Structure 1
Amino acid sequence: MTETQPSLSSVALKYGLMGALASVVFTAILLIAGVNVSGWIGSLGYLILIAFMVIAMKEYKKQNHGYMSYGQGLGIGTLVALAFGVLGGVFMYIYTSFVDPNYTATMMDKQRIELEEKGMSDEQIEQAIAIGESVSSPVMMIVWSIVGYLVIGFLISLIVSAVMKNNRPEFE
């Protein structure tokens, strides 16, 4: 008698999308309040990612009779992070394209002030701003969001999966 395992991807995407929605709401609140989302308070959004990774892994284990291998946990965590990256990127695309089209320019102005305060020359500042503008177009925000969440999510998953794994006994 072989029992079927629950779908890793369906569990991961369900909780990944729910968590990503919570993260988008958190980011929207910060943006509306005028809080710098790239500051330390914006990084609190990663706690949402970790929480939903844990919830997704617990659900998978529940559906799989209490078992989850390290690889399964790593897959779940990475898929949860992918959902965060896609939804977060699409949200920022919509926000910077339609809700606040001046967002990128405002961030570049703040960056210019910070660089001036560090004592950089005008030439260095112009180079830094040019690089910043080239990677902060609305489309690039989606790409960087996906890549960033995948990398960070994978690294977090390495740890969370190691803590939450519960291998099925070999001779069961």
Structure 2
Amino acid sequence: MENENTPIKPIATNYGLYYALFSIAVIVILYVTNMQKNLVIGTINVLGTVAVFVLAIIAYKKTNNNYLTLGQALKVGLGTAAIGGILIALYTYLHYTYIQPEFIEAMRQVQIVELQKQAANMSSEDADMAMSMLDTFSSPGFISTISVIGSLIFGLIVSLIAGLVLKSE
């Protein structure tokens, strides 16, 4: 029987913290090893993140007398994603503002080179607008905002799949 009083918040908070710590560790590992991208670390990051969401949903199901609805799974997953995503975004902002601002600048320079290659086919107004957009999209604040949105979308997808698999009949 479903227990309507089983709180989601403590589980979402705990697993949101695990998610944030795991993701921050990945960012730090990439920074310390001086890698921008690494397929192995990226794969571990995705699998670890999926595991955190699934474990959160399983933990909720256990505290709810082994009963789980799809709606509860989505709430747990999105709660975990929101808490973790906000913490990751805060760290990401601090990391790319104070610890590794050169990464943002290097990323901007690559985009500027690409933009200059395409500038021959653009009007000066379009080129100016593209440059303005580049400044916005390559800011630590924008990257942090996108990380929260990405976290929520990823959490929704994973919790939907996990909820469909783990729900009680």
More helix by share: 2
Q: Which residue of 1 aligns with 2:139?
A: 137
Alignment of 1:160-171 (within 5 A): 160-167=162-169
Q: What residue ranges of structure 1 are gaps of 5+ in the alignment?
A: 168-172
Which amino acid in the other structure matches residue 118 of structure 2?
Answer: M
> Structure 1's 3 and 148: CA in aligned 2 closer, same or farther, altered over 3 A?
closer
Q: Which residue of 1 aligns with 2:30?
A: 30
Q: Which residue of 1 aligns with 2:71?
A: 71
Q: Distance in 2 between matches of 1:83 and 1:40?
A: 26
Counterpart contact for 1:85–1:146, Cα < 8 Å = yes
Counterpart contact for 1:15–1:56, Cα < 8 Å = yes
Q: Distance in 1 between matches of 2:159 and 2:39?
A: 21
TM-score (norm 1): 0.80
Measured after TM superposition, the shift of residue 127 of structure 1 is 5.6
Q: Which residue of 1 aligns with 2:118?
A: 120
> Structure 1's 4 and 127: CA in aligned 2 closer, same or farther, altered over 3 A?
closer
Measured after TM superposition, the shift of residue 76 of structure 1 is 0.7
Q: Which residue of 2 aligns with 1:170?
A: none
Which amino acid in the other structure matches residue 150 of structure 1?
Answer: L
Q: Distance in 2 between matches of 1:61 and 1:109?
A: 48
Which amino acid in the other structure matches residue 107 of structure 2?
Answer: M
Which amino acid in the other structure matches residue 94 of structure 1?
Answer: L
- The alignment covers a number of residue pairs equal to 163
Q: Distance in 2 between matches of 1:99 and 1:88?
A: 15
Measured after TM superposition, the shift of residue 94 of structure 1 is 0.8
Q: Which residue of 2 aligns with 1:21?
A: 21
Q: Does 1:89 align with 2:80?
A: no
Q: Distance in 2 between matches of 1:20 and 1:134?
A: 25
SS at match of 1:6: coil
Q: What residue ranges of structure 2 are gaps of 5+ in the alignment?
A: none
Counterpart contact for 1:27–1:42, Cα < 8 Å = no
Task: Tell me the C-alpha RMSD between the 2 structures.
Answer: 2.7
Counterpart contact for 1:49–1:81, Cα < 8 Å = no
Measured after TM superposition, the shift of residue 40 of structure 1 is 4.6
Cα distance per residue 1:68-115 (max 9 Å; x no partner): 1110001111111112311211111111111122221111123345x3
Q: Does 1:152 align with 2:154?
A: yes
